[in-house]
Amino acid sequence: MRCLACKKAVEIKILYPFCRECFLKHYEERVQRLIRRFKLLVKGDRLLMAVSGGKDSLSCANLLSRLREIFNFQMEVVHIDVGISECTNFRTESVVRKFCEERDLKFHFVRLQDLLGVNGDLKTLFKKVRRPLCSTCGMLKRYALNKFAREKKFNKIATGHCADDITRFFFKNWFSQNFDWIAKFKPLTPSSHPKVVARIRPLFECLEAENLAYAKFNNIVIAGCSRCSYFLRKDKWNDLLQLVDERRPDFKLNIVRGLEKIEIKIKKSPRVLKECSSCGEPTDQEICAVCRIKARLQGLNS
């Protein structure tokens, strides 16, 4: 088999057969086209890149760091320690910190324990207050990321969410009839409140397998979460999508490209954001979920 672009020997085939050089060029040009098409980055932006230590966020950070001069924006990196030993640890922080040093990126470190005012492994604490681990972790990270970005005067947040993530989120929320969430599945989520920072997803049209290949070809050291590792993840949606991939490798790519084009109108009134009466962060309730969790966790220590 020969490379689709240059006819050299193929080194990788995910959607198309490519040699290493042509794959990297194809990958980076696709992301650049997405950035231009949706105006994800414009001159003068102050971008905060959220890096977990996994293949997706590190691939995204690596590519964006190479595009700083082309799109004329400033970029810094934040790593959020979620306080769960199997998800993040000292090695994860070291991997991300070294990655930033090698690319002249300012590095920030945020601990969820500090946000909640507690110590100890959060997995154990969440069990005591009967909170689901992954959804609670995700909610806390979104809260911490938005708060940190706004306080540090960033106008955009970038995450490494890719086509696989968006497709899984789409079907999960469709089956749960959370259509207001599906409406947000775009490469750019604009600010919906003065205290909400806009989000961009530069890898919206990239597959997890492509991100892994990009990281390997660029010799990027990764330190991902063992709970949701690309190789270890146990999820019924992931299993179903893998079965579809065997017949239609471009299925997820077509799903996200369809989501880019459609507008979903919600019959019920959209959630109106206000400010939490306790912490002042945006929420659609009187007291936000984070403050309620803080109160319950701190009650355990009293």
Helices 289-301 & 133-151 angle (0-180, nearest 10): 110
Q: Return averaged pLDDT per consecutive 10 residues of the chain, 302 residues in all.
A: 96 96 98 98 98 95 97 97 80 94 97 89 84 87 96 98 94 85 89 96 97 97 70 70 89 94 74 92 95 86 60
122 contacts 83 by C-beta, under 8 angstroms = yes
User: Degrees (nearest 5) of the Cα angle 163, 133, 192?
Assistant: 55
In this prediction, residue 158 carries a pLDDT of 98
Measured CA distances, 110 to 83, 96, 196, 230 (Å):
10, 13, 18, 24
In this prediction, residue 233 carries a pLDDT of 57
In this prediction, residue 175 carries a pLDDT of 87
- Token pair for 156: 């955009």
In this prediction, residue 299 carries a pLDDT of 75
Task: Using the structure block, give the residue that is written with the tokens 């990788």.
Answer: 12
Q: Domains plus CATH for the chain?
A: 12-271 (3.40.50.620)
